[in-house]
Structure 1
Amino acid sequence: MKKHDHSHHKDNFAKKVASLDNMKRREGFPPEELLKQFPINANDTILDIGAGTGFLTIPAAKVTDGLVYALDIDPRMLQLIQTKAEDEGLKNIQTIQKEMKELPLSANSIDIVLASLVLHEINPLSETLQSINQVLKAKGTFVCVELEEGKNERHLPRIASAEMERQLEQAGFEISKKFHPADAIYVIIAQKKQ
């Protein structure tokens, strides 16, 4: 019985991985294109929140010599990222199995924080945005990718871009760029004010 349960969980994980990768690719917005939308310096330290399959972690690690932290609560996702990193010969990725509220990084230590299709799952959002603001260096960059409210056939939780902007400003960010690369997806790039 236990063996059957294990294979069932394994099967679910495989489906989740395929679904995550496909959903992001289907939007027709490659991660490399996203990373070109803001300046990344050669030694920048990057934090990818809810890193999942490493959709952003892997390309980010290729454009900086600094450390890229991949944060996720699922150890299997982090193992997948490690495997991908080894396959690509990337040595600058460090995985962290924690929730955002348990983030073990010191204040003012990160240059860029990435959050792709994860913030709608976090409650309360305001506390998480304040934590992100805290770990960022002064004038550090926060990049948020989310699904726009509206075309939501599956009734998944979503945060409208206007609401995300409001929450970011309340948490001490200044919006520098906002765009919709695909029909139902939005990107907000914001800077920490001080």
Structure 2
Amino acid sequence: MNHTHHCNQSDQKFLSKIAVLDSRQREQLIPPEALIGQMPIQKNHTLLDVGAGSGFFTIPMAESTDCKVYAMDPDERMLGVIAAKAKEKGLTNIELLQDPIENLSIQNSSVDFVMASLILHEVGSLSKALTTIFEVLKPGGHLLCLEYEKDDLVVEGPPMSIRVGSAKLEEVLPVIGFEIVKKTKISEAIYTVLAVKKK
């Protein structure tokens, strides 16, 4: 009996997570099309959305290229949500990957652009995750990180202890071999860092 209750609770939690991920508020805060529109994405680019979640960025990414978009998330149910959205929009260029970010089953130097949205604070090792992304990117390929700032004044978002502040990213990315192109503050709480894998 307890088991089904637990199941329902986790389903409930999953559904509320989807609701947050797809919320109108989030869309206004981080308009996915606007953000992707500013990215160096071309029609012949292969893209990767790490920690794709409910496909908030995956879908507009898939609409912005004629090539493949990898949607990676360790949660099979999230991938199911993306598959349903893709089907609804008639998108056939999304490949779903149930991988942890530190262990991507993608060929090295095969991706032109990686989106890492609100996922880096969840990884075990930041440098390992970023190194894995670095390896799958082609030289000259870009990575966009979107994270919550590590700032005690900003209450919304994940616990302060696990946040990856922009200062931390600016310190770690160059060590791995990235060059930072630009840093943008999207809101009080959220920033993006665009970096390129040096040729």
Q: TM-score, normalised by structure 2?
A: 0.92
Q: How many Å separate the matches in 2 of 1:26 and 1:113?
A: 20
Where structure 2 has 5 or more consecutive residues not aligned to the other structure, the ranges are none
Matches for 1:1-194 after TM superposition, within 5 Å: 1=1, 2-22=3-23, 25=26, 28-150=29-151, 151-153=153-155, 155-156=159-160, 157-194=162-199
Instruction: List structure 1 runs of 4+ shifted beyond 4 angstroms.
Output: none
Asked whether the 8 Å contact 1:50–1:116 carries over to 2, the reply is: yes
> Which secondary structure state, in structure 1, belongs to the residue aligned with residue 67 of structure 2?
coil
Q: Partner amino acid for 1:153?
A: V
State the number of aligned residues: 194
Q: Alpha-carbon deviation of 1:183?
A: 1.4
Q: Deviations over 1:103-155 (max 9, x none)?
A: 11111000001000010111210111111111000100000000111134363
Where structure 1 has 5 or more consecutive residues not aligned to the other structure, the ranges are none
Q: How many Å separate the matches in 2 of 1:24 and 1:136?
A: 32
Identity value in percent: 43
Q: Alpha-carbon deviation of 1:3?
A: 3.1
Q: Partner amino acid for 1:166?
A: E
Q: TM-score, normalised by structure 1?
A: 0.94
Q: Alpha-carbon deviation of 1:168?
A: 0.6
Q: How many Å separate the matches in 2 of 1:100 and 1:28?
A: 25
Q: How many Å separate the matches in 1 of 2:53 and 2:76?
A: 10
Q: CA RMSD in A?
A: 1.6
